[in-house]
């Protein structure tokens, strides 16, 4: 887990045998999970990736944030989608509940089984 832009450390961290990253409350563009996945491949497991600012902005920002990131990362595997930081009291209950329902739509299929979206066609 890191609260900073750890991009420059990742090659050494992976070489040392650590393969999981949860970048929290960092500059979103600097630690973009899709870019990290393209650079380091599936060997780098990822937790988080949903910009906490989208929860602060409310429902209108949550769905686009998830649609933009989750399908690609979930299809590749090695990814646990969560907010990229601790959800604080500044996030409304309505926004948090919407975030959780949206997360469930992306990750749970009929009967409660985990789903993996189809990979994008090139």
Q: What count of other Cβ atoms lies within 10 Å of the Cβ of residue 3?
A: 11
Q: Which of 19-23, 70-74, 107-111 has the lowest mean pLDDT?
A: 107-111
Domain segments of the chain as ranges: 7-112
Report d(CA 31, CA 2) in Å as an integer: 11
4/7 Cα distance (integer angstroms): 9
Q: How confident is the model over 55-92, as pLDDT tens digits?
A: 999 999 999 999 999 999 998 889 999 988 888 899 99
pTM above 0.75, yes or no: yes
């Amino acid at each position: 887990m890191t609260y900073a832009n750890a991009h420059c450390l990742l090659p050494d961290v992976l070489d040392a045998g650590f393969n999981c990253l949860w970048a929290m409350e960092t500059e979103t563009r600097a630690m973009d999970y899709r870019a990290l996945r393209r650079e380091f491949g599936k060997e780098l497991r990822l937790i988080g990736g949903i910009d906490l600012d989208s929860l602060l902005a409310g429902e209108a920002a949550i769905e686009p944030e998830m649609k933009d990131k989750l399908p690609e990362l979930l299809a590749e595997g090695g990814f646990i989608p969560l907010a990229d930081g601790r959800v604080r009291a500044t996030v409304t209950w309505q926004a948090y509940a919407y975030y959780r329902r949206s997360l469930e739509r992306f990750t749970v299929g009929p009967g409660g089984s985990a789903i993996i979206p189809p990979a994008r066609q090139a």
